[in-house]
Amino acid sequence: MKNVNRLVNDIFSEMVEWRRYFHMYPELSFEEVETPKYIAEFHRQLGHEVQEGVGGRGVVAKLKGAKRGKTVALRADFDALPIQEENDVEYKSKVDGVMHACGHDGHTATLLGVAKVLNTMKEELEGTVVFIHQHAEEMQPGGAIAMIEDGCLEGVDVIFGTHLWATEPLGKVMYKEGALTAAADRFEVKIKGKGGHGAQPHLTSDSVVIASQLVMNIQQLVSRNVDPLDSAVVSIGSFEAKNAFNVIADQALLKGTVRTFKSEVQDMIMNKLEKMIKGACLAGDATYEFNYVKGYPPTINHPVETELIARLAKETEGVTDVVEYHAQMGGEDFAYYLQHVPGTFFFTGAMKSNVDQVYPHHHPKFDFDERAMLIAAKLLISATLTYLKESVDSVSVTS
């Protein structure tokens, strides 16, 4: 087999160019047009089978090796966020109010690099590789579930994916068997009171006071209802009650998120939340509307595939630290793929070392060390080749 490290290193400058192009021309979830066109044309130039419009705006490319074997899927997302970039870099976003603030540009460039390298090995490849380029990871219901329904996993035996993790050092690879990311739900509560003059609060049903009391009550929901050995988060992210300074609003709107790992905890919080809303409105002579939307399920990594990544990471060029990571309360729709086929999702450290401050994902000054793409690409290629070879060897032994 060819020298993977050399092949990946040789195209690193191209990977940086691809990443920076995507960064300069970001597209929002469910609005991706030019990005999937670019990806599809790239794979066509390599001679891969290409499907566009998968699940809406996704792209699926297929590389068939010269030898028979299993099928490995590799996934990268390519949507951006509605954030105005504040970085002063030559590859700064050229689209007002839209930015790659989570590293999806790097995920896509990494997978294109993986595809280019594996394409040079097709005569030796013992199986098939499916490249899943997914749209709309950032916005529910997400692109994964629609792509799966459209057949992107047909014939797939295993799937691998990674997230460039800019808050952890370059060279660090983080894996975890079982739950890695949480179920990510959202909810809205509209409190309907009775407005009036700010000088006459006794004649109103103050929606602002009721909503404020509810926000404070919610802070006790997890601490007094969830087993301390379990994990859950309930956060209010938006509180709107627009009005003149001297007018008591007749309505207040709260928006928030719930993060859980267990379905029974998720259901309990949903039910308790409505009881709290009902109680606050009953006490304040108000009514309410409550809308709760279950989002992505928890990402549950499979044991065999997770062990494979952990083992290969220790042998991957550029990796200096391999750790079993802690679960994250963030959401990730890679979870849907793992409900259908075995696989694992891991984090690749990508922290910039030459900056005064490291900014988190979804921040206007988010950025990452592009050398992390080298590590991610080498590990994904190693996982692909090893899985295919070990599968073939296993069949040979049993037969």
Q: Is the dihedral of CA 144, 35, 65, 3 positive or negative?
A: negative
- In which residue are the tokens 């030796």 written? 124
What does the block give as tokens for 291?
């809308």
Please confirm, yes or no, whether 32 is among the known catalytic residues.
Answer: no
Among residues 137, 206, 367, 369, the one annotated as catalytic is 137
Please confirm, yes or no, whether 137 is among the known catalytic residues.
Answer: yes
Q: Exposure of 329 by Cβ count < 10 A (0-12 exposed, 13-18 middle, 19+ buried)?
A: middle
What does the block give as tokens for 302?
């499979």
* DSSP string across 322-363: EEEPPPBSS--TTHHHHTTS-EEEEEEEEE-SSSS-PPPTTS
Amino acid at 341: V
Q: Are 164 and 111 in contact (CB under 8 A)?
A: no
Phi, psi of 274 (to 5 degrees): -65, -35
Q: Which parts of the chain are beta strand (E)?
A: 49-54, 58-64, 67-77, 126-134, 158-169, 172-175, 178-181, 183-192, 196-197, 232-240, 247-248, 251-260, 287-296, 299-301, 321-324, 343-351
CA 103 – CA 99 distance, rounded (Å): 10
CA 249 – CA 243 distance, rounded (Å): 6
Among residues 27, 77, 79, 157, the one annotated as catalytic is 79
What does the block give as tokens for 308?
């494979």
CA 116 – CA 295 distance, rounded (Å): 34
DSSP-assigned letter for residue 271: H
Kindly list the catalytic residues.
79, 137
